[in-house]
Amino acid sequence: MEKIAIIGAGLIGCAWASVFARAGHTVALYDIDADAVAGARDSIKAGLVKQHAIGLITEHPDIVIARVSVTRSLEEAMRDADFVQENVRETVAAKLEIYARLDKLAGADTLIASSTSGIPASAFTENLTGRHRCFVGHPINPPSVVPLVELVPAPWTTPAVIERARAIYARAGQVPIVVNREIQGFIVNRLQGALLAEAFRLVEDGYVNSNDIDKAVKDGLGLRWSFMGPMETIDLNAPGGIRDYCGRYGPLYYDIAQQATPRQWSDALIGQLEQERLAQLPADQRPARAAWRDQRLMDLVAHKRNASDE
Ligand SMILES: NC(=O)c1ccc[n+]([C@@H]2O[C@H](COP(=O)([O-])OP(=O)(O)OC[C@H]3O[C@@H](n4cnc5c(N)ncnc54)[C@H](O)[C@@H]3O)[C@@H](O)[C@H]2O)c1
């Protein structure tokens, strides 16, 4: 098993520590902040206990957490690390500063992934000696429950690095996808953005309210999406497969796409959405609802693990 250095012990860093430790790796977790370092192991352990309770992990949480060490010394975290997952705050300046240090401390074959939500690796790795081994490994929060990770190379990242990273994530139980070259928002947020843009347009123009938009997804489209994507969906939705589907419905979708001019999200629309959401869920009930969501998500992932994809 490899040694994994996790840089930044916030929300995402702690979740990554859990992913790699439960896969059997030794994990060294680093943060500059004393409070983050002090609280990290308890927060990771609490997550592992929940995962254990619903069968997402079979090893006892005490055994898994024993593989995780925390430190405020970057040198110590990076010593003999085979793989680095960086999770510091989301600014170019912070990434530039930490990458200059990581590049000096990393061994020649060490891979360095950034969890960045939206900064391309080219914005903070261009001048590094080891820039060929740097790339984005973007998780969906929290990676300890949601397995998808988007691998996005910078123009100078070598294909062998992406292949090695893909294997490491897959062995740890994640589901890597490879974005062939840098694009703003990567894949997942572009797909989400397309859906939100259309949903906002439909509400703003008075065709539907936001509560019914949610039903259209959770009780309609989204039911299939948790076990098959839109490509497989349309392949199965016409007798002759995807070509047949495109022949039947392509003109309809082309018309719809032509109507979809970009719009700013106006204050009036945001106010309406806020009122509609508050009617569904008072603000003081959001934390309880978020805990309910996390539990449902873990139950769904456990169900997917047990169900056959064949
Ligand atoms: N929160 C999400 O939903 C989410 C999802 C996907 C990706 N990400 C990305 O993950 C990264 C971390 O986000 P987060 O939500 O965990 O943030 P966070 O604020 O919870 O944690 C960031 C941690 O980094 C530490 N830090 C800041 N500068 C540092 C430095 N120079 N050296 C060491 N530690 C440093 C902070 O002390 C903090 O503990 C960001 O790049 C973010 O875009 C976040």
pLDDT tens-digit map of 79-117: 999 999 999 999 999 999 999 999 999 999 999 999 999
Counting every residue written for the chain, the total comes to 310
Cβ neighbours for 148, distance < 8 A, ≥ 6 positions apart = 139, 140, 174, 175, 176, 177, 188
Please give the pLDDT value at position 1.
73
- Residue pair 112/99 in contact by the 8 Å Cβ criterion: yes
pLDDT tens profile 150-170 = 999 999 999 999 999 999 999
pLDDT tens profile 177-196 = 999 999 999 999 999 999 99
Q: What is the mean pLDDT of residues 242-253?
A: 98
Could you give the CA distance from residue 173 to residue 236 in angstroms, rounded to a whole number? 28
Strand pairing category for 68-71 and 83-86: unpaired
Ligand 1 neighbour 101 (Cβ under 6 A): no
Please give the pLDDT value at position 143.
97
Spacing, Cα 90 to ligand 1 middle (Å): 6
Ligand 1 neighbour 136 (Cβ under 6 A): no
Per-residue pLDDT for 306 more than 90?
Answer: no
Ligand 1 neighbour 36 (Cβ under 6 A): yes
Please give the pLDDT value at position 10.
97
Ligand 1 neighbour 11 (Cβ under 6 A): yes
Per-residue pLDDT for 252 more than 90?
Answer: yes
Q: What is the three-class DSSP state of 21?
A: helix
Residue of 70, 87, 112, 186 to test ligand 1 pocket, by largest number of atoms within 8 Å of CB:
87
Please give the pLDDT value at position 173.
95
The pair of three-digit structure tokens given for residue 157, joined into one six-digit string:
């990242």
Which residue owns the Cα nearest ligand 1 atom 29?
88
HEC secondary structure over 188-239: HHHHHHHHHHHHHHHHHCCCCCHHHHHHHHHHHHHHHHCCCCHHHHHHHCCC
Please give the pLDDT value at position 25.
98
Ligand 1 neighbour 88 (Cβ under 6 A): yes
- Residue pair 95/87 in contact by the 8 Å Cβ criterion: no
Cβ neighbours for 177, distance < 8 A, ≥ 6 positions apart = 148, 149, 150, 151, 187
Please give the pLDDT value at position 27.
98
Could you give the CA distance from residue 125 to residue 121 in angstroms, rounded to a whole number? 6
Ligand 1 neighbour 87 (Cβ under 6 A): yes
Spacing, Cα 224 to ligand 1 middle (Å): 32
- Residue pair 43/142 in contact by the 8 Å Cβ criterion: no
- Please provide residue 26's backbone torsions phi and psi, each rounded to the nearest 5 degrees: -85, 130
- Report the DSSP beta bridge partners of residue 214: none
Q: Which atom of ligand 1 is nearest to the CA of 95?
A: 31
Please give the pLDDT value at position 12.
98
**pLDDT band with cut points at 50, 70 and 90 for residue 126:** very high
Q: What's the pTM value of the predicted model, to 2 decimals?
A: 0.95
CB neighbour class for 310 (10 Å; exposed up to 12, middle 13-18, buried from 19): exposed
